[in-house]
Amino acid sequence: MYIFSFANFASPAPFGGRGKNLFMKIAILADIHANIVALEAVTDHLERWGPDIVIVAGDVVNRGPRPAECLRFVQAKQRGDGWLVIRGNHEDYVISHKTSPYSGIEAELFQNSRWTYEQLNLDVAALEAWPFSISWQTGANELRVAHASMRGNRDGIYVETDDDTVRQQVGSPPPGVFVVGHTHKPLVRSVDDTLVVNVGAAGLPFDGDPRACYARIYRQNGWWRAGLMRLDYDREAVDRDFVDSGFLDSGGALARLIRVELRLAHSQIAEWTTAYEAKVRAGNLSIHESVDQFLAEEGITGTD
Protein backbone atom coordinates (compact mmCIF):
# COMPACT_ATOMS: atom_id res chain seq x y z
CA MET A 1 0.00 0.00 0.00
CA TYR A 2 1.46 3.34 -1.03
CA ILE A 3 0.84 6.56 -2.90
CA PHE A 4 2.43 5.99 -6.28
CA SER A 5 1.54 9.32 -7.85
CA PHE A 6 1.09 12.76 -6.39
CA ALA A 7 0.36 16.20 -7.83
CA ASN A 8 -0.37 19.75 -6.67
CA PHE A 9 -2.46 22.49 -8.20
CA ALA A 10 -3.02 25.98 -6.82
CA SER A 11 -6.62 27.14 -7.05
CA PRO A 12 -7.42 30.81 -6.40
CA ALA A 13 -10.54 30.39 -4.24
CA PRO A 14 -11.18 28.21 -1.16
CA PHE A 15 -13.45 25.20 -1.67
CA GLY A 16 -16.84 25.76 -0.11
CA GLY A 17 -16.08 29.37 0.72
CA ARG A 18 -15.22 28.60 4.36
CA GLY A 19 -11.82 30.24 4.50
CA LYS A 20 -8.39 29.73 3.04
CA ASN A 21 -7.23 27.39 5.81
CA LEU A 22 -9.99 24.86 5.19
CA PHE A 23 -8.65 21.29 5.12
CA MET A 24 -10.89 18.83 3.32
CA LYS A 25 -10.33 15.15 2.50
CA ILE A 26 -12.29 13.47 -0.29
CA ALA A 27 -12.01 9.77 -1.20
CA ILE A 28 -13.11 8.78 -4.70
CA LEU A 29 -13.33 5.23 -6.05
CA ALA A 30 -14.72 3.82 -9.27
CA ASP A 31 -15.01 0.67 -11.35
CA ILE A 32 -15.80 -1.77 -8.57
CA HIS A 33 -17.32 -4.16 -11.13
CA ALA A 34 -19.17 -6.40 -8.70
CA ASN A 35 -15.99 -7.21 -6.77
CA ILE A 36 -17.24 -7.19 -3.18
CA VAL A 37 -13.91 -8.31 -1.70
CA ALA A 38 -12.08 -5.35 -3.22
CA LEU A 39 -14.90 -2.97 -2.26
CA GLU A 40 -14.74 -4.02 1.37
CA ALA A 41 -10.94 -3.72 1.43
CA VAL A 42 -10.94 -0.26 -0.14
CA THR A 43 -13.70 0.91 2.19
CA ASP A 44 -11.82 -0.27 5.29
CA HIS A 45 -8.68 1.50 4.05
CA LEU A 46 -10.31 4.82 3.20
CA GLU A 47 -12.43 4.92 6.35
CA ARG A 48 -9.32 4.59 8.49
CA TRP A 49 -8.04 7.69 6.66
CA GLY A 50 -11.24 9.52 7.64
CA PRO A 51 -12.45 11.43 4.57
CA ASP A 52 -15.05 14.17 4.78
CA ILE A 53 -16.73 12.93 1.61
CA VAL A 54 -16.73 9.59 -0.26
CA ILE A 55 -17.74 9.49 -3.92
CA VAL A 56 -18.24 6.41 -6.09
CA ALA A 57 -17.68 7.36 -9.73
CA GLY A 58 -19.68 4.64 -11.43
CA ASP A 59 -19.50 0.98 -12.49
CA VAL A 60 -20.48 -0.48 -9.14
CA VAL A 61 -22.14 -3.50 -10.80
CA ASN A 62 -21.59 -5.76 -13.81
CA ARG A 63 -18.43 -7.32 -15.26
CA GLY A 64 -17.98 -9.24 -12.04
CA PRO A 65 -19.46 -11.95 -9.81
CA ARG A 66 -21.14 -10.18 -6.87
CA PRO A 67 -23.32 -7.33 -8.22
CA ALA A 68 -26.16 -7.58 -5.71
CA GLU A 69 -23.77 -7.61 -2.76
CA CYS A 70 -21.91 -4.55 -4.09
CA LEU A 71 -25.12 -2.66 -4.74
CA ARG A 72 -26.44 -3.38 -1.23
CA PHE A 73 -23.09 -2.37 0.29
CA VAL A 74 -23.00 0.96 -1.55
CA GLN A 75 -26.66 1.69 -0.81
CA ALA A 76 -26.02 1.10 2.90
CA LYS A 77 -23.13 3.57 2.76
CA GLN A 78 -25.32 6.09 0.96
CA ARG A 79 -27.93 5.86 3.71
CA GLY A 80 -25.61 5.61 6.68
CA ASP A 81 -22.51 7.60 5.76
CA GLY A 82 -23.68 9.92 3.02
CA TRP A 83 -21.70 8.36 0.19
CA LEU A 84 -22.39 9.98 -3.19
CA VAL A 85 -22.71 7.75 -6.26
CA ILE A 86 -22.86 8.45 -10.00
CA ARG A 87 -23.85 6.17 -12.85
CA GLY A 88 -21.31 4.47 -15.11
CA ASN A 89 -21.63 2.80 -18.49
CA HIS A 90 -22.04 -0.61 -16.87
CA GLU A 91 -25.03 0.61 -14.92
CA ASP A 92 -26.45 1.71 -18.27
CA TYR A 93 -25.81 -1.75 -19.76
CA VAL A 94 -27.77 -3.36 -16.93
CA ILE A 95 -30.56 -0.78 -17.15
CA SER A 96 -30.90 -1.50 -20.88
CA HIS A 97 -32.26 -4.99 -20.14
CA LYS A 98 -35.36 -3.39 -18.66
CA THR A 99 -36.52 -2.32 -22.12
CA SER A 100 -34.30 -4.05 -24.71
CA PRO A 101 -35.42 -7.50 -25.91
CA TYR A 102 -31.97 -8.84 -26.81
CA SER A 103 -32.03 -12.01 -28.91
CA GLY A 104 -29.68 -14.11 -31.00
CA ILE A 105 -26.06 -13.02 -31.00
CA GLU A 106 -26.94 -9.79 -29.17
CA ALA A 107 -28.28 -11.84 -26.28
CA GLU A 108 -25.02 -13.81 -26.16
CA LEU A 109 -22.87 -10.68 -26.30
CA PHE A 110 -24.83 -9.09 -23.45
CA GLN A 111 -25.32 -12.22 -21.36
CA ASN A 112 -23.04 -11.01 -18.56
CA SER A 113 -25.10 -7.82 -18.06
CA ARG A 114 -28.31 -9.86 -18.37
CA TRP A 115 -27.04 -12.11 -15.58
CA THR A 116 -26.34 -9.00 -13.49
CA TYR A 117 -29.84 -7.69 -14.20
CA GLU A 118 -31.30 -10.96 -12.97
CA GLN A 119 -29.14 -10.91 -9.82
CA LEU A 120 -30.63 -7.51 -9.02
CA ASN A 121 -34.08 -9.13 -9.18
CA LEU A 122 -34.91 -7.21 -12.36
CA ASP A 123 -35.10 -3.97 -10.32
CA VAL A 124 -32.75 -1.26 -11.55
CA ALA A 125 -34.47 1.78 -10.03
CA ALA A 126 -31.48 2.48 -7.78
CA LEU A 127 -29.12 2.53 -10.77
CA GLU A 128 -31.45 4.78 -12.73
CA ALA A 129 -31.53 7.27 -9.86
CA TRP A 130 -27.77 7.82 -9.86
CA PRO A 131 -26.78 11.05 -11.66
CA PHE A 132 -24.41 11.37 -14.61
CA SER A 133 -22.04 13.69 -12.74
CA ILE A 134 -21.55 15.58 -9.48
CA SER A 135 -20.24 19.11 -9.06
CA TRP A 136 -19.48 21.54 -6.23
CA GLN A 137 -18.84 25.11 -7.25
CA THR A 138 -18.19 28.26 -5.26
CA GLY A 139 -17.10 31.29 -7.19
CA ALA A 140 -14.10 30.35 -9.29
CA ASN A 141 -13.58 26.94 -7.69
CA GLU A 142 -15.07 23.58 -8.68
CA LEU A 143 -14.73 19.89 -7.95
CA ARG A 144 -16.42 17.93 -10.74
CA VAL A 145 -16.78 14.14 -10.94
CA ALA A 146 -17.98 12.08 -13.92
CA HIS A 147 -17.55 8.43 -14.81
CA ALA A 148 -15.52 8.85 -18.02
CA SER A 149 -15.84 12.48 -19.15
CA MET A 150 -18.47 15.15 -19.64
CA ARG A 151 -18.80 13.97 -23.26
CA GLY A 152 -20.18 10.59 -22.20
CA ASN A 153 -19.65 7.71 -19.81
CA ARG A 154 -17.62 5.71 -22.34
CA ASP A 155 -15.36 8.61 -23.38
CA GLY A 156 -12.27 7.96 -21.27
CA ILE A 157 -9.23 10.03 -20.35
CA TYR A 158 -5.89 8.25 -20.76
CA VAL A 159 -2.25 9.20 -20.22
CA GLU A 160 -1.88 9.52 -23.99
CA THR A 161 -5.00 11.69 -24.47
CA ASP A 162 -3.86 15.07 -25.80
CA ASP A 163 -4.59 18.29 -23.92
CA ASP A 164 -7.03 19.65 -26.50
CA THR A 165 -9.16 16.52 -26.21
CA VAL A 166 -9.01 16.61 -22.41
CA ARG A 167 -10.24 20.21 -22.46
CA GLN A 168 -13.33 19.04 -24.34
CA GLN A 169 -13.80 16.05 -22.03
CA VAL A 170 -13.55 18.21 -18.91
CA GLY A 171 -16.15 20.61 -20.27
CA SER A 172 -14.40 23.92 -19.51
CA PRO A 173 -14.91 24.10 -15.74
CA PRO A 174 -13.62 26.88 -13.50
CA PRO A 175 -10.19 26.20 -11.96
CA GLY A 176 -10.29 23.14 -9.73
CA VAL A 177 -10.34 19.36 -10.01
CA PHE A 178 -11.94 17.01 -12.53
CA VAL A 179 -12.13 13.36 -11.42
CA VAL A 180 -13.05 10.31 -13.51
CA GLY A 181 -12.66 6.54 -13.75
CA HIS A 182 -13.75 4.24 -16.60
CA THR A 183 -10.37 3.44 -18.19
CA HIS A 184 -9.23 1.34 -15.21
CA LYS A 185 -5.87 3.12 -15.59
CA PRO A 186 -5.03 5.74 -12.94
CA LEU A 187 -3.38 9.08 -13.66
CA VAL A 188 -2.87 12.56 -12.28
CA ARG A 189 -2.15 15.44 -14.68
CA SER A 190 -2.80 19.16 -15.03
CA VAL A 191 -4.43 20.80 -18.03
CA ASP A 192 -4.59 24.58 -17.87
CA ASP A 193 -6.16 25.40 -14.49
CA THR A 194 -7.61 21.94 -13.91
CA LEU A 195 -6.09 19.07 -11.97
CA VAL A 196 -7.31 15.95 -13.82
CA VAL A 197 -7.45 12.70 -11.83
CA ASN A 198 -8.35 9.24 -13.05
CA VAL A 199 -8.90 7.12 -9.94
CA GLY A 200 -8.22 3.81 -11.68
CA ALA A 201 -10.28 0.76 -10.69
CA ALA A 202 -11.14 -0.47 -7.23
CA GLY A 203 -12.17 -3.90 -8.49
CA LEU A 204 -10.71 -4.51 -11.96
CA PRO A 205 -7.45 -2.66 -12.79
CA PHE A 206 -6.14 -2.70 -16.37
CA ASP A 207 -2.69 -1.19 -15.83
CA GLY A 208 -0.89 -4.44 -15.05
CA ASP A 209 -1.05 -3.88 -11.29
CA PRO A 210 -3.79 -6.12 -9.82
CA ARG A 211 -4.06 -4.20 -6.56
CA ALA A 212 -7.16 -2.13 -5.86
CA CYS A 213 -6.87 1.59 -6.54
CA TYR A 214 -8.66 4.69 -5.32
CA ALA A 215 -7.88 8.41 -5.04
CA ARG A 216 -7.43 10.75 -2.11
CA ILE A 217 -8.18 14.38 -2.94
CA TYR A 218 -6.97 17.05 -0.50
CA ARG A 219 -7.88 20.72 -0.24
CA GLN A 220 -5.86 23.06 2.00
CA ASN A 221 -4.65 26.65 1.93
CA GLY A 222 -5.88 27.25 -1.61
CA TRP A 223 -4.22 24.09 -2.95
CA TRP A 224 -5.68 20.93 -4.45
CA ARG A 225 -3.62 17.76 -4.15
CA ALA A 226 -4.32 14.23 -5.39
CA GLY A 227 -2.82 10.93 -4.25
CA LEU A 228 -3.48 7.50 -5.77
CA MET A 229 -3.56 4.58 -3.35
CA ARG A 230 -2.90 0.91 -4.18
CA LEU A 231 -3.62 -1.95 -1.81
CA ASP A 232 -3.59 -5.71 -1.84
CA TYR A 233 -6.67 -7.77 -1.09
CA ASP A 234 -7.73 -11.41 -1.35
CA ARG A 235 -7.95 -11.85 -5.14
CA GLU A 236 -8.15 -15.63 -4.79
CA ALA A 237 -11.46 -15.17 -2.97
CA VAL A 238 -12.76 -13.13 -5.90
CA ASP A 239 -11.60 -15.81 -8.32
CA ARG A 240 -13.63 -18.34 -6.35
CA ASP A 241 -16.61 -15.98 -6.49
CA PHE A 242 -16.70 -16.40 -10.27
CA VAL A 243 -17.57 -20.04 -9.70
CA ASP A 244 -19.52 -19.88 -6.44
CA SER A 245 -21.85 -17.10 -7.62
CA GLY A 246 -22.73 -18.88 -10.86
CA PHE A 247 -21.32 -16.05 -12.95
CA LEU A 248 -18.81 -18.24 -14.77
CA ASP A 249 -21.46 -20.79 -15.76
CA SER A 250 -24.36 -18.41 -16.44
CA GLY A 251 -22.75 -15.10 -17.37
CA GLY A 252 -22.00 -16.08 -20.95
CA ALA A 253 -18.76 -16.84 -22.78
CA LEU A 254 -17.28 -13.42 -22.02
CA ALA A 255 -17.36 -14.17 -18.28
CA ARG A 256 -14.28 -16.29 -18.88
CA LEU A 257 -12.47 -13.25 -20.28
CA ILE A 258 -13.52 -11.13 -17.30
CA ARG A 259 -11.98 -13.70 -14.99
CA VAL A 260 -8.72 -13.39 -16.94
CA GLU A 261 -8.94 -9.60 -16.68
CA LEU A 262 -9.04 -9.93 -12.90
CA ARG A 263 -6.06 -12.29 -12.86
CA LEU A 264 -3.83 -10.35 -15.28
CA ALA A 265 -5.00 -6.77 -14.60
CA HIS A 266 -5.30 -6.22 -18.34
CA SER A 267 -8.34 -5.71 -20.54
CA GLN A 268 -9.31 -8.83 -22.50
CA ILE A 269 -12.79 -8.04 -23.81
CA ALA A 270 -11.54 -5.05 -25.82
CA GLU A 271 -8.91 -7.20 -27.52
CA TRP A 272 -11.43 -9.98 -28.15
CA THR A 273 -13.84 -7.44 -29.63
CA THR A 274 -11.22 -6.19 -32.09
CA ALA A 275 -10.19 -9.67 -33.17
CA TYR A 276 -13.42 -11.66 -33.05
CA GLU A 277 -16.68 -9.78 -32.67
CA ALA A 278 -17.17 -9.21 -36.41
CA LYS A 279 -16.49 -12.88 -37.12
CA VAL A 280 -19.02 -13.95 -34.50
CA ARG A 281 -21.64 -11.54 -35.82
CA ALA A 282 -21.03 -12.85 -39.35
CA GLY A 283 -21.68 -16.39 -38.16
CA ASN A 284 -18.17 -17.63 -38.95
CA LEU A 285 -17.82 -19.15 -35.48
CA SER A 286 -19.75 -19.20 -32.22
CA ILE A 287 -18.95 -16.85 -29.37
CA HIS A 288 -17.74 -19.80 -27.29
CA GLU A 289 -15.43 -20.95 -30.10
CA SER A 290 -14.09 -17.42 -30.47
CA VAL A 291 -13.26 -17.19 -26.77
CA ASP A 292 -11.54 -20.58 -26.92
CA GLN A 293 -9.44 -19.42 -29.87
CA PHE A 294 -8.63 -16.07 -28.27
CA LEU A 295 -7.44 -17.69 -25.04
CA ALA A 296 -5.44 -20.32 -26.91
CA GLU A 297 -3.69 -17.64 -28.97
CA GLU A 298 -2.86 -15.77 -25.79
CA GLY A 299 -1.60 -18.96 -24.13
CA ILE A 300 -4.11 -18.60 -21.28
CA THR A 301 -5.42 -21.74 -19.58
CA GLY A 302 -7.49 -22.58 -16.49
CA THR A 303 -10.43 -20.27 -17.19
CA ASP A 304 -13.23 -22.83 -16.83
Quick one: average pLDDT of 216-228? Answer: 88
Domain that holds residue 11: 2-231
Asked whether residue 276 is domain-assigned, the answer is: no
CA distance 200 to 198: 6
Three-state SS at 173: coil
Of the chain, the percentage scoring pLDDT greater than 70 comes to: 91
Asked whether residue 216 is domain-assigned, the answer is: yes
165-174 residue pLDDT tens: 999 999 977 6
Q: Assign 175 a pLDDT band (cuts: 50, 70, 90).
A: confident
Q: Residue 80 maps to which CATH number?
A: 3.60.21.10
Q: Assign 89 a pLDDT band (cuts: 50, 70, 90).
A: very high
- Total structural domains in the chain? 1
* Closest residue by Cα to residue 266 from 201, 214, 215: 201
Asked whether residue 288 is domain-assigned, the answer is: no
User: Chain-wide mean pLDDT for the chain?
Assistant: 91
Asked whether residue 90 is domain-assigned, the answer is: yes
Asked whether residue 299 is domain-assigned, the answer is: no
End-to-end CA gap in the chain:
31
pLDDT for residue 100: 86
Asked whether residue 35 is domain-assigned, the answer is: yes
Asked whether residue 280 is domain-assigned, the answer is: no
Asked whether residue 41 is domain-assigned, the answer is: yes
pLDDT for residue 5: 32
pLDDT at 15 over 50: no
Strand 2-10 relative to strand 23-29, pairing:
unpaired
